[in-house]
Amino acid sequence: MSDLAARQQRLIALFHGAPIQKVTGMTFRYDDDGHAVFTMPYNPNFNHAMGAIHGSVFGTLVDNAGWFTVAPHYENWIVTVEYSTRLHEPVSKEMLIATGKIVRMGGRMASAEMEIRTPNGTLAATGAGTFIVTAQPYDQEK
């Protein structure tokens, strides 16, 4: 197994053990191109007062899809510097699928673009993020 594949498998395991995964029900995998793919089932607890899924859920998915797409390409942990989310369509009672794509990889900084779609292909949101490499190696977990 390559170092990249090993880091991807480790990140999948870490995410699926995280408290946020248990609260949101998100699942996470890498596709054949190395893009992080998050699937979040519909949960009425995440609706806003008008009955659609709250925008903060989209922000969480955008950050996750970008961070986990970039992270395995570095030997040290990365952190999110900034991310933006653009909401395109309100979504009610549907699963959300978020995917990340690397735009640029540098020695210490990377940028990614993310999109969120419904199972029928509706583009619900897009986003972009910047991530920076820390001094903490993967083998030194917090």
Please indicate, yes or no, if residue 142 is contained in any of the structural domains: no
Across 33-48, average pLDDT = 97
- Bigger pLDDT: 112 vs 1: 112
Full 3-state SS string of 58-124: HHHHHHHHHHHHHHHHCCEEEEEEEEEEEECCCCCCCCEEEEEEEEEECCCEEEEEEEEECCCCCEE
Please indicate, yes or no, if residue 35 is contained in any of the structural domains: yes
Q: Name the domain count of the chain.
A: 1
Query: pLDDT > 70: what percent of the chain?
Result: 98
At 53 the pLDDT is 96
Confidence tier at 76 by pLDDT (50, 70, 90): very high
Domain that holds residue 11: 3-137
Please indicate, yes or no, if residue 15 is contained in any of the structural domains: yes
Please indicate, yes or no, if residue 90 is contained in any of the structural domains: yes
Look over the chain and give the mean of its residue pLDDT values, rounded to a whole number: 95
